[in-house]
Amino acid sequence: MKTKFFLGLIFLFFLPIFFAFTLGQIPEAPASSPTLENTGVSLRQLAEQRGIQIGAAVNTYPLKSDRTYQQLLAREFNVVVPENAMKFELVHPQQDRFNFQEMDEIIAFAETHQMEFRHHPLVWDEQLPAWLVRGDFSRAELMDILKKHIQTIVKRYRGKVKTIDVVNEGVARDGTLRDTLWLRGIGPEYIDLSFIWAHEADPEAKLFFNEFSAEEMGAKSNAVYDLVQGLQQRGVPIHGVGLQMHKALNNQPKIEEIAQNVARLGELGLEVQITEMDIAIPEVAGADFSQQLQEQAKIYGDSVKMCVAAKNCTAIIFWGFSDRYTWMTSLIGQGGNPLIFDKFFRPKPAYTAVKEALKQ
């Protein structure tokens, strides 16, 4: 009996560790504890000298447990974005209950280190809780749910948050509105209403529409342009567009087209921010990894130069900052080495390229 009892305790002890590894949250431990390299002037200092924000999405696991991660984040960046803590299923797990613990922890870190916290996202069609997806709600009920969700979050952090991604990924690749729970249940006006409700809750916050694969000229970026221009014409409060820029060596950004897109959004009086940038390195047999790192660095450098040169490009935010913690590992099973620091927190050529771009 005692043997079964102790075996049970051992199982309970290792179970969460097993799941953490399965989800890719705990990377392979380094041979020795990483020590931050002295990189001289930080990205944060250079960006602030130019009047540009530079930020990173943060994972709450290392933010609470990894001292090197904390130090590097505070040293190099002046904006933090919750990678998952603000997703609907985490912050609003039950219809009558919100959970702000992880968001509060990230905001506390940001305040301690004089960093800005960016809301991301208020409205999205992914990572929704079962009670919402499976619920048989009327249009009026769904509108009440969405309004309560938006205004409860925004009011709680009013005065602490300056920028909000209100609607995330609302446009399909062909330029039509993306088929979402919100579109089906409320109609296309859910976008207008989301911005209006967010503005009511905090009239001082800057409100952004955030989209993927809309960086370059084409059907999707044209649709985003038309959408935000329509919001303006209807008097809906909107201040900017977020361009995500999840790219790869085999899917490189067309910098000239992105610059053209940023410029035309600027003509509408809108800010543009690069909001989720990472550049994946695909696994190719026989590839020269050092050459791939240089190629990755050039993409990072050219992208930052483009933003620096555009008067209305006001922030560059990476989707993480160390290959040790990247969504690519946890969601698609491959690391991709997409970020500017490696898994041991050592600066990669991409880091140097970003720094040089900020100096120009």
- Can you read off the two tokens belonging to residue 269? 């009086």
- 209-228 pLDDT, tens digit per residue, is 999 999 999 999 999 999 99
The arithmetic mean of pLDDT across residues 332-358, rounded, is 92
CA–CA gap between residue 293 and residue 137 (Å, rounded): 50
Q: What does 88-136 look like in DSSP terms, one character per residue?
A: HHHH--BTTB---HHHHHHHHHHHHTT-EEEE--SB-SSS--HHHHS--
pTM here is 0.89
How confident is residue 285, by pLDDT bands cut at 50, 70 and 90?
A: confident
Per-residue model confidence (pLDDT) at position 265: 98
Give the mean pLDDT of 1-25.
36
Mean pLDDT rounded to a whole number for the chain: 91
SS (H, E, C) 132-143: HHCCCCCHHHHH
Residues in the chain: 360
What pLDDT sits at residue 51? Answer: 95
Residue 86's contacts (CB-CB under 8 Å, 6 or more residues apart) are 103, 119, 120, 121, 122, 153
pLDDT digits (tens, 9 = 90+) for 311-325: 999 999 999 999 999
The Cα–Cα gap between 355 and 360 comes to 9
pLDDT of residue 280 exceeding 50: yes
How does pLDDT run across 302-314, given as a tens digit for each residue?
999 999 999 999 9
Tell me phi and psi for residue 279, to 5 degrees.
-125, 100
24 has a pLDDT exceeding 90 = no
- For residue 9, the model assigns a pLDDT of 37
- Residue 272, pLDDT above cutoff 70: yes
Q: Confidence class of residue 22 from pLDDT cuts 50, 70 and 90? A: very low
| Tally of CA atoms within 13 A in the half-sphere of 283 that contains its CB | 5
Place 334 in a pLDDT band, splitting at 50, 70 and 90.
low
Q: Residue 349: which region, alpha, beta or left (left: phi > 0; alpha: psi -120 to 50)?
A: alpha
The predicted-structure confidence for 35-87, as pLDDT tens digits, reads as follows 677 778 999 999 999 999 999 999 999 999 999 999 999 999 999 999 999 99
* Least confident stretch, 164-173, 204-213, 282-291, 340-349: 282-291
Catalytic residue numbers?
169, 276
Model confidence at 331, in pLDDT bands (50, 70, 90)? Answer: low
Q: In a 3-state reduction of DSSP, which class is residue 17?
A: helix
Average pLDDT rounded to a whole number, residues 92-105: 97
CATH number for region 39-359? 3.20.20.80
Task: Please spell the DSSP secondary structure of 164-231, one letter per residue.
Answer: EEEEES-B-TTSSBP--HHHHHT-TTHHHHHHHHHHHH-TTSEEEEEESS-SSSSHHHHHHHHHHHHH
* Whether pLDDT at 23 is above 50: no
Q: Identify whether the C-beta of residue 120 lies closer than 8 Å to the C-beta of residue 161.
A: no
State residue 32 phi and psi, 5-degree precision. -145, 165
Structure tokens belonging to residue 354: 């970003």
Listed residue (124, 117, 116, 123) closest to 102, CA to CA = 117
Q: How far apart are CA 150 and CA 162, in angstroms?
A: 15
Count of helices and strands (H, E) across the chain: 15, 9
The residue with greater pLDDT, 19 or 343, is 343
**Whether residue 28 has pLDDT greater than 70:** no
Who has greater pLDDT, 2 or 166?
A: 166
Whole-number pLDDT of residue 40: 87
Nearest CA-CA partner of 80 in 98, 103, 99, 61: 103
Is 19's pLDDT higher than 50? no
Residue 279, Cα to own-chain centre: how many angstroms? 14
Query: 283 falls in which pLDDT band (50, 70, 90)?
Result: confident
